[in-house]
Amino acid sequence: MYDRFTTLNGLRAHYVEWGEPNRPAILMLHGLRSYARTFEPLAIRLSDRYRIVALDARGRGESQWDPRGEYYTPAYVADLEQFADHLDLDRFILLGHSMGGATAYVYAARHPERVIATVIEDIGPGSSLSGAGAERIKREIAGTPAEFPSLDAARAYWRRIRPGITADALESRMRHTLRQGTCGRWFWKFDLAGIAAARLDTDPARQIDLWPSVEALRCPTLVVRGGDSDFLPAATAAEMTVRNPLVNTVEIPGAGHYVHDDAPDAFHHQLEQFLTSLEAAP
C-alpha cells in the first residue's frame, strides 16, 4: 500500500494505491462521510490481480478542504477527470459508494471511452433527493457533533447512527475520520461545516438528476444494493435495469447502506463474479 498526493483543481488531494501499477486498474470512490481507506479490506483482497486506487474526496481524509465549499457532484466529477489523467489511465473500472457512486454514474456516462465497467454501491436516481434514506442522512448531518471529549464518545456516536457496524469497520472509522486537538478533544478530519452546507442545500440548481447518466451508460454496470438499505429502493434498482439493459443489480441480505462494511465477504463475492465475467467477455 502506498500513500500519494497530487493536485486536483487547485486542491491537494490524497490517494492510496494497492497492487502493481501494470495491472488492470480499479478506481474506488467513497461516500459522503467516508475516506479512501474504507476500501482497504476489499483492496487487499483484489490487489494480487488489480491495481487499486482509492481517492480521498476533497474535504475528507488527508485531502485539502475546499474553501469555496464546492462539495457537489460536478466538482467531484471534475476532480475525477483530472485524477484519471494524472494516473495516465486510458481504461479502468470505476467503483463508487453512495456519493462516490453518483460521481461514477456521471463520469462513466460522460467518458464511455475510458470506463470498462462500473460498480455502484447502494445509490440510484433520486436516492439523495427524497425518501427515508435521504431524510435520515440529512438529520444525521444536521445533528453531527463538531467534536467529542473522548474516543469513547466518538465510538458511541458511530454505534448510535450505525448500530449494525462491524467491529473492524468501526475501528477503521475511528482511525481515519478523527484527529486529536491540542486541547485533548477529538475533531473530524472532514470538513463538516462545508459538507453539511452542501448536503442540506435545497437550491434546485444544485441538485442532480442521475437518470440521464444511468440511461447513457455504455459499459457493463453492477449495482449492489443492501437488503436492509433505506437509501436505494428496490423499485429504483429494478427500474434501472429496465431503462438500461447494461445495468444488473444484486441485493445482499442483511446489509444496510454501507454494503462493503456490513457484509464484506458477500460484497467481495459479488464483485469477484462481476470482474470474472468481464475477463471472460470477448
**pLDDT class for 271, splitting at 50, 70, 90?**
very high
User: CATH says 2-128+207-280 is which class?
Assistant: alpha beta
Q: Supply 127's cell numbers.
A: 436516492
Q: Are strands 11-18 and 2-8 parallel, antiparallel or unpaired?
A: antiparallel
Q: What pTM, to 2 d.p., does this model score? A: 0.97
Mean pLDDT, the chain, integer: 96
**pLDDT class for 1, splitting at 50, 70, 90?**
confident
Nearest to 189 by CA among 100, 57, 47, 5: 57
Separate counts of helices (H) and strands (E) for the chain: 11, 11
What average pLDDT does the segment 22-32 reach? 97
CA distance linking residue 231 with residue 217, whole number of Å: 21
CA distance linking residue 67 with residue 166, whole number of Å: 34
For the chain, the domains span: 2-128+207-280
pLDDT beyond 90 at 42: yes
Share of the chain above pLDDT 70, in %: 99
169-205 pLDDT per residue, tens: 999 999 999 999 999 999 999 999 999 999 999 898 8
**Torsional class of 184: left (φ above 0), alpha (ψ -120 to 50), beta (otherwise):** left
Per-residue confidence (pLDDT) for residue 141, from 0 to 100: 94
Residues 6+ apart with CB under 8 A from 61: 14, 35, 36, 37, 176, 189, 190
**pLDDT class for 94, splitting at 50, 70, 90?**
very high
**pLDDT class for 282, splitting at 50, 70, 90?**
low
Q: Give, as one character, the DSSP assignment of residue 65.
A: P
198-246 pLDDT per residue, tens: 999 989 889 999 999 999 999 999 999 999 999 999 999 999 999 999 9
**Torsional class of 91: left (φ above 0), alpha (ψ -120 to 50), beta (otherwise):** beta
pLDDT beyond 80 at 118: yes
Per-residue confidence (pLDDT) for residue 213, from 0 to 100: 98
